Copies of this chain bind each other. A is one copy, B any other.
Amino acid sequence: MTAHNIAVIPGDGIGTEVTPEGVRALQAAAERFNLDLTFEDFDFASCDYYLAHGQMLPDDWKATLSRFDAIFFGAVGLPDKVPDHISLWGSLLQFRREFDQYINLRPCKLMPGIKSPLADRQPGDIDFYVVRENTEGEYSSIGGKIFEGTERETVMQETVMTRTGVDRVLKYAFELAKKRPRGKLTSATKSNGISITMPYWDERVKAMHTAYPEVDVDQFHIDILTANFVLHPDWFDVVVASNLFGDILSDLGPACTGTIGVAPSANINPEGKFPSLFEPVHGSAPDIAGQGIANPIGQIWCGAMMLDHLGHEDAGKAMLDAIESVLAKADTNVLTPDLKGQGTTRDLAQAIIEAI
């Protein structure tokens, strides 16, 4: 029986309501599959912590969290209290960079009982992954402002891509595509407009393809690619993209499947040198926080991805199957208001836990 230490960071808003349910679901899966999971809670990486301490994280956060096998994260950010660029750059984006979580992986999947905004699509029609580069590219902090406060005021910000950074995300995406039934990889580019970094991205895709001749590769410019997510979501299997393009596609994808409120997201350091972090796509949702009605599925689905990552794919699959079976039953006493039910966070989580 392998033991895994999990750091739990609820963060802000509904993060504090859904993480405990996610932990309970993980405990249920651990019991069924005989896994040894231990959990420890942390209050940092939240806006309350920032207001009390003047920083989002304690000085020794890196040493503290490095002891864990994974981080189970809720949501961070309360723009009315702390500006986003402080709360996010001071926490989530620190983790991604300092723990070299260079893969951001998000499934886009039509689920039973969840209405897609697209016409005439059924579960099974849409099922793909977005693999996003998570440490460099358009999210660099290099740049600045000149002639401040005058008519000549100019701001600049550098996009930075390294061969190491690009190649390792491409490698991960090719490996994933190789394992998928259709073996297909789509690259997001914009080399017709962004004339330096994007042609470089294309060049590295070509180079990496030679090592994976069995993977079927195509590419689209990001503008038409977003259009194709809406028009032809069935075309996609694995989509690989730079940091910014991946950010966009991994919100748009779940929007097309109607799952943006329930989709998970994994920030992965594939080598396991540092802990990986699992967080729902939804934010802290201050508008519904405190009412106990937040949908816990995103957090539980994160748990499933975390177990996959820790090498327990059977347990991860059981958690996802439990989610799908509860959704398929469509019991409005159990479903939360976002799914047109009258259930609470606890009700819906409980139903899923029983199904596990």
Contact = CB atoms under 8 A, between A and B. Distances in A.
A321 interface: no
Contacts of A226: 226, 248, 251-252, 255
B222 A248 contact: yes
Contacts of A145: 196, 200
Contacts of A120: 119
A288 interface: no
A85 B199 contact: yes
B162 A154 contact: yes
B227 A230 contact: no
A78 B152 CA distance: 39
A224 interface: yes
Contact of A255 (B143, B162, B230, B250): B230
Most chain B beta carbons < 10 A, residue from A143, A164, A222, A248: A248
A227 B247 CA distance: 11
Q: How many copies does the complex hold?
A: 2
Contact of A157 (B89, B93, B115, B159): B159
B88 A192 contact: yes
Given A118-B117, A227-B255, A244 B141 contact: no
A5 interface: no
B244 A190 contact: yes
Given A143-B197, A162-B154, A196-B144, A227 B260 contact: yes
The 4 closest A-B pairs by CB, nearest first: A227-B255, A223-B251, A153-B163, A84-B192
Interface of A: 77, 84-85, 88-89, 93, 115-120, 138-139, 141, 143-145, 150-164, 190-197, 199-200, 222-224, 226-228, 230-231, 243-244, 247-248, 250-252, 254-256, 260
